[in-house]
Structure 1
Amino acid sequence: MSELSIRKATEADLPVLLALYGQPSFNNGRVVTLDEARAIFARMALYPDFAAYLAEIEGVVVGTFALMVIDNIAHWGTPTALVENVVVAEGRQGGGIGRAMMRAAFQIAEAKGAYKVALSSGMRNEKAHAFYESLGFEKYGFSFRLDPPPAAQSAEPGLAVDLIEERA
């Protein structure tokens, strides 16, 4: 394999990111618009350690992943790292690119002092599960999600919730 380089994505990279995210093997063609992507990318930049990364071979983007290193008051103040959106370009899968991207994510997380790297994968994506397990990930606990989150539900019937917004 030629030399692979990993770098943070820039706003100019959004079209290629959207193309990777739209692959049938990842998101079946469903992506946000370029304008929506720009707005999201600007919000991502507000987080101190959240970025999309691109993998390139000879200047051609061949993969991407997102990494967020999250400050943590628990666990002795050590941060945790969360990997999302791991995608290798179709036709380039199986050549070590995903493995190299994950090693880069591990290195970044370690440099930031993260005590763990976590990710999630769809229940039926057995190919991804085998890949993550080959990297040393272990199935741990349960992952839960709620689509879409119900905004007006309270934790307990009859318990009123007063959400206090931070004031500037």
Structure 2
Amino acid sequence: MIRVANINDLGGVLHLYKELRPLDPNLDSDFAKEKWAEIINGPQTHIIVAEIDGELASTCALGLNKSIANGARPFGIIEHVVTLHKFRRQGLSKKVLEFAISLAWENNCCKVMLLSGAQLIGAHSVYESVGFKGDIEKGFVIKP
């Protein structure tokens, strides 16, 4: 089942993110619950999940960013695309991405952007399979 995450999905999403970013620090439980509630209850971030037999198997995050450009239409950013290792090669990343893209279009986004590690060639083919083009714009990142 592909759906938008709910308040009860925190543990499953944190498990997915641990697979994506194993060196991230563990969050204090109360802090994690507070931040998760802000995300789930806010209108600008949607966490999409694929659930198999009660376990979250795949996810991506869609951020909706307001804009005064493009007729004041928002733009979407997809981040944190991950599928648990044991569920890979089943098309789940593609399904959560398609769901997120549809949600962006339902919210009148003028475009959806996604950044990916330059070395993740396998992931790039998944992104291209749902319509992303790697040669339209160039992404840049700065980290503290």
State TM-score, norm by structure 1.
Answer: 0.75
For residues 67 and 96 of structure 1, the distance between their equivalents in structure 2, rounded to whole angstroms, comes to: 18
1:103 to 98, 102, 111: 98
Structure 1, unpaired ranges of 5+:
149-168
Q: Does 1:118 align with 2:109?
A: no
Other-structure match for 2:37: 42
Structure 1 residue 45 displacement after superposition = 4.5
Match of 1:28 among 17, 22, 28: 22
**Structure 1 runs (4+) greater than 3 angstroms displaced:** none
Alpha-carbon shift at residue 132 of structure 1 (Å): 0.9
Does the residue aligned with 1:72 lie in a helix, a strand or coil? coil
Aligned pairs (5 A) from 1:1-168: 5-23=1-19, 26-33=20-27, 34-45=29-40, 47-139=42-134, 140-148=136-144
CA contact (8 A) 2:60 2:82 kept: yes
Residues 16 and 83 in structure 2, CA contact (< 8 A), matched pair in contact too: yes
User: Once structures 1 and 2 are overlaid, which stretch shifts more, 53-62 or 71-80?
Assistant: 53-62
Unaligned runs of 5+ in 2: none
% same residue: 30
Higher RCO by CA contacts (8 Å cutoff, separation 6 or greater)? 2
Output one character per residue of 1:20-48: Cα deviation in whole Å (capped at 9) or x when no partner.
1111xx21352441333223223324642
Structure ranking higher in helix proportion: 2
Over aligned residues, Cα RMSD in angstroms? Answer: 1.9
Structure whose CA Rg is larger: 1
The answer to whether the 8 A contact 1:52-1:64 is kept is: yes
**How many corresponding residue pairs?**
142
CA distance in 1, matches of 2:58, 2:25: 16
Note the C-alpha offset of 1:103: 1.1
